[in-house]
Structure 1
Amino acid sequence: MIAIRKFLLNPVQFLLAACLAAMLVLVFGNVVLRYAFNTGISVSEELSRLLFVWVVFLGAAVTLFEQAHLGVDTLVRRLSRKGRLACFVLSNLLMLYTTWLIFSGTWQQFGINLGMTTPVMGISQAWFFVPVLIFTGFAAAWFCLSLIRSLTGRISDEELIGVRESEEDFDIAQLPPGSAPLR
């Protein structure tokens, strides 16, 4: 499972970093050009908006695979293993259905916008919907894998809760006994 995560996530994380770097250069360069030389890069606004959409949805996919989304575990922690398993399966089924709804709507929008072009770059408007389709593919695979693992009994109690403690709590727990955290 860890090898699959690394295989899938490393290229996506590299792409995210490249998109962020390109956005930074485009926006900063455009600001400098506008204030210093009263000119600008006409493509920068449109391209940075497209890259932002890619960053949001690819980042959501990475966050899903790393199980780093926020969650509330007040009720689930009080349930037995069977109750936790039932909640886990139900929530994954609901998220899989929601993923299907997002995919089907995005697929329709992709088809509608395929022939339309952006005003400045002249590329298809459908490129704004591609990262959503990629995200739904990753999400559907993740939810199906989670359901299979839970129904076959290969999931731990910690995974059934699915909420990580804050990074501060995690860092303090890693300290050797008797040492105090620096404030």
Structure 2
Amino acid sequence: MASHLNSDFEHIILPSQYEIQDKIAVGAMGSIFRALDKKNNSTVAIKTLKEGINITEDTILRIRKEAYYLSRLDHPNIVRLIDFFEQDNAIFIITEYISGQSLKSIIADEPLPLRSQIKIIRDLASALDFVHSENIIHRDIKPGNIMLGTDNQVKILDFGLANLINYKKIFLKNEIVGSLAYMSPEQTGILKKMID
């Protein structure tokens, strides 16, 4: 049976296992909600497309790819996929809920101590090494896609732009994907050859 929500979330109907508690983020294409997983008695995050957004085949493919890539990644510094489903022309990605703040909001207030910076970099390097060992690249690593939990656990989020590694395709295709301010020179097209 379905779970209906308060007036802010009326358009979303979920299996009765999930009960949305509040909206925690809104992006260009989607919204993220904090919800209770009643079956497992745990808090989860539910990512879905915004109401009224034009859902193209490309959009659906991107979301399915994100769920597929997350399902392959089991690492302490990568958000864990719990479930993925489509129903009534809606798509849902259910992940673990991370209580904390994005690195973007943390560094906006004040610089982090050197010890914290080193830990974050070490954890990110470990996660990205694992992602790359699975032949996946994230393509949008930036402070807004990195969460620091209340337990100081670093988590990489948002694999919506991820892709299987095919270096020729990635670097020879005239396509810019990701957040320009955080791209390598190769990605932006500024350099015509790869650098190490």
Taking structure 1 as the reference length, what is the TM-score of the superposition? 0.25
Taking structure 2 as the reference length, what is the TM-score of the superposition? 0.24
More strand by share: 2
